[in-house]
Amino acid sequence: MKKLILAMSIAAMGIYGAELKGSISDSGCGAKHGPGKENAGCVKSCIGKGGSPVLVTADGKVIKIHNADAVGEKFYGKAVTITGKIDGDSVHVEKISE
């Protein structure tokens, strides 16, 4: 029953939008640069070498970002709040702020 409620909650967030908090890392390092372990230099370098920006939540979950171009370089390795639509293990960013 708890799993059903969780699944329905996640589905509702995907339909109506969600607010996610965490840190911007890169697809190569993932949770290594999560909240409290941010490293803007490494994240910038890895994205520059072909990695993609990802969001790492406080519990260490790595969430892919559909529209990576919405995450400007100024957010690399920073704690952020993303408002967007969740689709499975990824999010489409509508708004991002520090």
Record the pTM: 0.82
| Of the listed ranges 10-14, 15-19, 63-67, 79-83, the one predicted with least confidence | 10-14
Sort 75 into a burial class: Cβ within 10 Å, 0-12 / 13-18 / 19+: buried
Render pLDDT for 30-51 as a digit per residue (tens, 0 to 9).
999 999 999 999 999 999 999 9
Element (H, E) at 53: strand 53-57
C-alpha radius of gyration, the chain, whole number: 13
User: What is the arithmetic mean of pLDDT over 68-79?
Assistant: 97
CA distances from 20 to 13, 14, 95 (A): 10, 12, 10
Tell me if 8 sits within 8 A of 85, measured CB to CB: no
Sort 66 into a burial class: Cβ within 10 Å, 0-12 / 13-18 / 19+: middle
| pLDDT tier at 6, thresholds 50, 70, 90 | very low
Which overall architecture, per CATH, does domain 2-97 show? Beta Barrel (2.40)
